[in-house]
Amino acid sequence: MRHFITTADLTRESALGLFRLAADLKQGWKAGKRTVPLAARTLALIFEKPSLRTRVTFEVGIVQLGGRAVYLQGSEIGLGTRESVPDVARNLSRWVDGIAARVHAHATVETMARVATIPVINALSDFEHPCQALADFFTLWERGVDFTRTTVAWIGDGNNVCHSVILLGAMLGAKVRVACPPGFEPDPAVQAEVSRLGPSLLVTEDPREAATGADVLYTDVWISMGQEAERERRLEAFGRYQVNETIVGFARPNALVMHCLPAHRGEEVTDAVLDGPQSIVLDQAENRLHAQKAVILQLLGGGADDA
């Protein structure tokens, strides 16, 4: 893996390898093991969108590995305006060891990866969020979840996070269900790939159908950054897709509830569910750090041998 732009850059085996590496890094850090396999390495962080989890976990992650981060706002460097995306990628390739980019258009990270001579990581685009999905399934893996016996139900918007979650879930052998209002389904090409990879894919308009007997319930905001003008239309469309105690009741008794955060409490999820005993959202958030450290080490340092 030279870049990490899409979940499709992974295989089942490479994903499991990253889980093992992430677990080693996590356990080592908690045990007080302070190694610096990426000493003097530098990671450029290009952010067109603001973030709490993504910025902190990438910045802290490279520091914990012994390197440094350089934070660059998209407007600050004039990405795509003052300078073309290829020119930015070519220049950064002369100065830093890797790029993590949180952008609007997926084509931006694709262009960077095509032009850059250093690894490029997709830290979120409008089409995928592969780092989030990697952290999510690492969170399930460290709990001992057997993916081949697991049903993951996504309830809500078939958005970028949904794309990455259902792709990686299918790749790992899980059954995948998606409940969305009409017109908000995952991209048809993603659905086709999930169907090719996995044992089953169900796309339905009925959230109860998706939730019934599921082992994992996953939701995300209905109104993402840049969609504020669609707020009223989306609230109306998604009204019956809230993950609440009723919906959770249709899943298996010990089903896990996931959310990539930030959450719009009272919209896509209730406080009782988000803060309840079945919620693992803070484990997901913590594991963004460790999963991304594994990706950074794999790309910039050659993998587990450097740990």
CATH label of the domain that carries residue 53: 3.40.50.1370
Catalytic-labelled residue, pool 234, 259, 288, 290: 288
Are 142 and 19 in contact, with CB atoms under 8 Å apart? yes
Please check whether residues 108 and 182 belong to one and the same domain.
no
Residue 135 lies in a domain: no
Of the residues 64, 132, 242, 292, which is catalytic? Answer: 132
Examine the domain organization and report whether 294 and 269 are in the same domain.
no
Q: How far apart are CA 92 and CA 88, in angstroms?
A: 6
Choice among 220, 234, 242, 284 that is catalytic? 220
Whether residue 174 is found in the same domain as residue 248: yes
pLDDT tens-place values along the chain, 307 residues long: 899 999 999 999 999 999 999 999 999 999 999 999 999 999 999 999 999 999 999 999 999 999 999 999 988 999 999 999 999 999 999 999 999 999 999 999 999 999 999 999 999 999 999 999 999 999 999 999 999 999 999 999 999 999 999 999 999 999 999 999 999 999 999 999 999 997 889 999 999 999 999 999 999 999 887 777 788 899 999 999 999 999 999 999 999 999 999 999 999 999 999 999 999 999 999 999 999 999 999 999 965 444 4
Peptide bond into 262 cis (omega under 30): yes
**Same domain flag for 18 and 115:** yes
Residue 143, token pair as written in the block:
């709990």
CA distance 55 to 53: 6
Number of domains in the chain: 2
Residue 122 counted as domain residue: yes
Using CA atoms of 145, 205, 241, 122 in order, give the dihedral in degrees to the nearest 10. Answer: 60
CA distances from 9 to 103, 167, 228, 237, 249 (A): 18, 11, 31, 33, 36
264: annotated active-site residue: no
Note whether 247 and 225 are same-domain residues: yes
How far, CA to CA in Å, does 195 sit from each of 134, 169, 188, 190? 19, 11, 10, 9
Is 278 part of the annotated catalytic residue set? no
Spot the catalytic one: 53, 106, 129, 290: 129
Q: Which range marks the domain in which residue 39 is found?
A: 7-129+286-302
Catalytic residue list contains 104: no
Establish whether 220 is a catalytic residue: yes
